[in-house]
């Protein structure tokens, strides 16, 4: 009888990063691989599922207007209980730090189903930054059986927290796998800028940046557009969250040289990033994508769970203060040597083979009960 591996995710970033694992697991005829989505995101999640041709077996459909973290958690727990009662996996693979991730790990624990955590061990050690992601990671890791740490630093975090070293595997980050596959797709994409234009890409959406920090970010972007408007256009991908949209549109909608765009499908967004001259963001995933694309990033947050990106030089932590953001942009765009320094180092997040490594480890765990021969 085949061993059952279930993968679960609910947001676009999770789907992107779980795809390489899904693809690799499909190569093992001894394993039956199934996918559960929670639809914590809907439209953006569907775009990735279609792009990568992922077959979805179950959809919990938790998304609703003005959803709360409590409601998402409750719906995931209840929905997974129903699935597990009729279709019991041998292991559940979760990813990263979303509410879907934590609630799914908890649901599996209640049914004594082993959990594999892809992208485990990331930490800021600040309970509320990022919120709720930091605690989602820690709580998920407390329930995990197989830890797939993307870097040595992530492994060190887990060891400090008392995780048995034999359960931790340093695999690289699966986003590198997905990004390499996307870059190779020779598909013509219409972008909101012309091929001969220089531009800056901006994204901002994190909960801890709602309110005053988001206003500071937007006012900084406005000033940057006024200062560098003759040389650079600014493309701001505006998140679907109404709190974010209200602030961004109120401050930036009438500013010359700023193009406000709806969230793009992943293929288009990667193409946009790959041609950008500079990226300003509060995203987690872009910190991992930028080194692969060799693009400098100013991270508009006070903390990061990916210190490797900072140490590599490709990412700089600049916070959300208006004057600090403007100053750092000026430093990079007015100094070629400073710019080149940010994109010259090696990618700290892997070689594009993380999905294959994880699939081999899961196979060996289920079929052989160990880790012999895994490399």
Residues with a known catalytic role: 97, 119, 133, 205, 207, 239
Using CB atoms within 10 A of its CB, is residue 335 exposed (0-12), middle (13-18) or buried (19+)?
exposed
- Cα dist from 44 to 47, 88, 218, 366, 371, whole Å: 5, 28, 24, 33, 36
DSSP conformation class of 265: P
Q: Which residues pair with 279 in a beta bridge?
A: 201, 297
3-state helix, strand, coil in the chain (%, to 5): 45, 15, 40
**CB 200 within 8 Å of CB 276:** yes
Residue 270 tokens, joined: 């990667």
**CB 173 within 8 Å of CB 354:** yes
Q: How far apart are the first and last CA of the chain?
A: 26
Cβ neighbour number for residue 86 with a 10 Å cutoff: 6
Residue 103 tokens, joined: 């609630």
B/e letters for 92-115, b = 16+ CB within 10 Å, e = fewer, are bbbbbbbbbbbbbbbbbbeeebbb
Report the distance separating Cα 289 and Cα 45, nearest Å: 18
């Amino acid at each position: 009888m085949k061993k059952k591996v279930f993968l679960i995710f609910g947001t676009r970033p999770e789907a992107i990063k779980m795809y390489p694992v899904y693809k690799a697991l499909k190569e093992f005829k001894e394993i039956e691989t199934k996918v559960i989505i929670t639809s914590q995101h809907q439209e953006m999640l569907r775009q990735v599922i279609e792009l990568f041709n992922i077959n979805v077996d179950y959809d919990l459909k938790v998304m609703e207007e003005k959803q709360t973290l409590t409601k998402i958690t409750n719906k995931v727990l209840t929905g997974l209980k129903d699935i597990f009662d009729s279709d019991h996996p041998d292991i559940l693979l979760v990813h990263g730090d979303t509410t879907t991730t934590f609630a799914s790990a908890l649901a599996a624990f209640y049914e004594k189903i082993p959990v594999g955590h892809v992208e485990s061990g990331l930490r800021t050690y600040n309970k509320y930054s990022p919120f709720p992601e930091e605690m989602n990671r820690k709580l998920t890791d407390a329930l995990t059986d197989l830890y797939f740490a993307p870097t040595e630093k992530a492994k060190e975090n887990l060891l400090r927290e008392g995780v048995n070293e034999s359960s931790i595997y340093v695999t690289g980050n699966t986003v590198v796998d997905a990004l390499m596959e996307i870059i190779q797709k020779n598909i013509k994409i219409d972008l909101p800028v012309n091929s001969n234009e220089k531009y800056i890409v901006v994204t901002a959406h994190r909960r801890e940046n709602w309110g005053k920090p988001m206003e500071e970010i937007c006012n900084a972007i406005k000033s940057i557009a006024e200062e560098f408007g003759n040389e650079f256009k600014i493309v701001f991908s505006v998140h679907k969250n109404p709190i974010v949209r209200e602030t961004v549109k109120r401050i930036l909608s009438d500013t010359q040289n700023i193009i406000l765009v709806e969230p793009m499908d992943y293929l288009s967004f990667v193409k946009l990033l790959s041609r950008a001259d500079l990226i300003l963001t509060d995203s987690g995933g872009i910190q991992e994508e930028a080194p692969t694309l060799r693009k400098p990033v100013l991270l508009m947050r006070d903390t990061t769970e990916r210190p490797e990106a900072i140490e590599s030089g490709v990412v700089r932590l600049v916070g959300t203060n208006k004057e600090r953001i403007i100053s750092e942009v000026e430093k990079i765009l007015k100094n070629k040597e400073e710019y080149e320094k940010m994109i010259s180092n090696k990618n700290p997040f892997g070689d594009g083979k993380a999905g294959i490594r994880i699939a081999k480890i899961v196979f060996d765990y289920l079929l052989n009960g160990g880790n012999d021969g895994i490399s």
